[in-house]
């Protein structure tokens, strides 16, 4: 049996030319990016975490994808499956007060009155009936894959989607999450290494016992368990994510572990089809050997750990991690700060490097190796698959 048999099976199952999945990257990815990746022979992904309770918006995104891909449904629709936040009015008010102080110290007008934190993202876990409009829409659209981040919906929902020809994937970060996913008969397991950019996919938010497994160690642990405890015919697709930036690196990893595919996110961020800010883009384009830019893992932006390029403000914010309300309660206020700061300076700004002073710059640990010298998605893709 060929070492690449698992990646060959993956490509055959999803009619792909390459064992490459584009990470959903909520807030940065677009339907245009997903459609380009699919047309080039990978599997594009559309982030829909904000829309699990809004079937109409889901359908708009999906139909737009189809209009760009000659009617294809070969796409991964990604949703959040987090626990609803526990409310703590004192902690939440203290958090708002901290941000009011930031506004005052930096001359930004506070126009939000006695602001209350909102849970701005719905969770797929709240869907408990197969007759739910979102579920009925999804079986009508029938995307190749539906994936989940932060956890899993009910087994009943998973089975119903699968019975209608949809493969179900989930991100995991440790062995316990693997076992839960196997119990739910998941079709594909995305191993998210600690190197990965964006939100950490832990089922338990900000797990104090998180072993922070990097992708190679996580892959070894998962495969050891599967090979010892699971019938080979029952082993799901295994996809690795976190820290990948070159074709040779991807080929070596797939060959070494005989896994199904690699999921890539950070390398697409500088593309023209991404929506990152000009400041975020500059971190990729203006790197040189003297740069000391690093990434940090912080829960103080959204309420859940995420990896971002470090800035003085984000480093300061990171010291408040233990005081942060639960995800996604802090996220709306963080985004308001960035928008309000930009609005306050946009008429007089001459230094555009300051326009996102209070933003988050989600990226993987190896972001400084991810710039391909081009913003053209086709060229980036060609560079990534040239050795595959």
Q: Per the residue annotation, which of 82, 112, 149, 199 is the catalytic one?
A: 199
How far is 204 from 311, CA to CA, in rounded Å?
27
Give all strands (DSSP E) within 37-88, no chain letters: 44-47, 75-80
Of 151, 86, 154, nearest in space to 327 by CA: 86
Q: Reduce the DSSP state of residue 56 to 3 states and report it.
A: helix
What is the per-residue DSSP string for 318-342?
A: HTTGGGPPSTTTTHHHHHHHHHHHH
Q: Among candidates 177, 175, 119, which has minimal Cα distance to 148?
A: 177
Which residues, 6 or more positions from 322, have their beta carbon under 8 angstroms from its beta carbon?
A: none
Instruction: Write the DSSP symbol of residue 114.
Output: S
H or E, element range at 220: helix 215-229
Based on the residue annotation, tell me whether 82 is a catalytic residue of this protein.
Answer: no
Q: Each residue of 164-201: b (16+ CB within 10 Å) or e?
A: eebbbbbbbbbeebbeebbebebbbbbbbbbbbbbbbb
Measured in Å, how far apart are the chain's first and last C-alpha atoms?
Answer: 18
The candidate with the shortest Cα–Cα distance to 42, out of 14, 62, 70, 63, is 14
Tokens 């594009």 sit at which residue? 44
Closest-CA residue to 44 (of 66, 13, 12): 66
Which residue numbers are catalytic?
199
């Amino acid at each position: 049996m060929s070492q690449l048999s698992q990646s060959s099976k993956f490509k055959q199952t999803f009619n792909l030319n390459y064992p490459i999945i584009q990470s959903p990257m909520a807030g940065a990815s677009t339907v245009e990016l997903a459609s380009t990746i699919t047309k080039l022979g990978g599997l594009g992904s559309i982030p829909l975490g904000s829309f699990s309770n809004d079937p109409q918006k889901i359908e708009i995104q999906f139909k737009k994808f189809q209009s760009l891909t000659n009617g294809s449904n070969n796409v991964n629709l990604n949703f959040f499956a987090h626990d609803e936040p526990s409310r703590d009015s004192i902690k939440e008010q203290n958090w708002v007060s901290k941000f009011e102080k930031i506004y005052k110290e930096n001359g930004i007008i506070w126009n939000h009155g006695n602001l209350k934190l909102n849970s701005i993202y719905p969770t797929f876990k709240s869907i408990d009936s197969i007759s739910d409009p979102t579920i009925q829409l999804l079986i009508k659209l029938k995307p190749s894959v539906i994936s989940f981040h932060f956890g899993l919906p009910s087994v009943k929902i998973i089975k119903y989607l699968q019975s209608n020809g949809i493969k179900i994937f989930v991100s995991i970060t440790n062995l316990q999450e693997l076992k839960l996913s196997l119990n739910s008969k998941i079709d594909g397991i995305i191993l998210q290494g600690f190197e990965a950019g964006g939100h950490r996919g832990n089922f338990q938010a900000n797990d104090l016992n998180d072993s922070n497994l990097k992708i190679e160690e996580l892959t070894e642990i998962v495969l050891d368990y599967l090979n010892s405890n699971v019938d080979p015919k029952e082993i799901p697709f295994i996809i690795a994510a976190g820290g990948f930036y070159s074709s040779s690196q991807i080929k070596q990893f797939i060959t070494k572990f005989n896994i199904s595919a690699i999921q890539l996110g950070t390398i697409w961020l500088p593309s023209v089809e991404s929506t990152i800010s000009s400041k975020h883009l500059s971190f990729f384009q203006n790197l040189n050997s003297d740069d000391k830019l690093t990434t940090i893992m912080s829960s103080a932006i959204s309420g859940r750990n995420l990896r971002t390029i470090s800035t003085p403000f984000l480093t300061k914010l990171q010291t408040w991690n233990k005081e942060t309300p639960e995800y996604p309660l802090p996220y709306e206020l963080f985004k308001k700060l960035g928008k309000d700061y930009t609005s306050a300076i946009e008429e007089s700004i001459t230094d555009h490097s300051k326009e996102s002073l209070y933003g988050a710059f989600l990226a993987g640990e190896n972001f400084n190796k991810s710039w391909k010298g081009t913003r053209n998605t086709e060229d980036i893709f060609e560079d990534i698959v040239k050795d595959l």
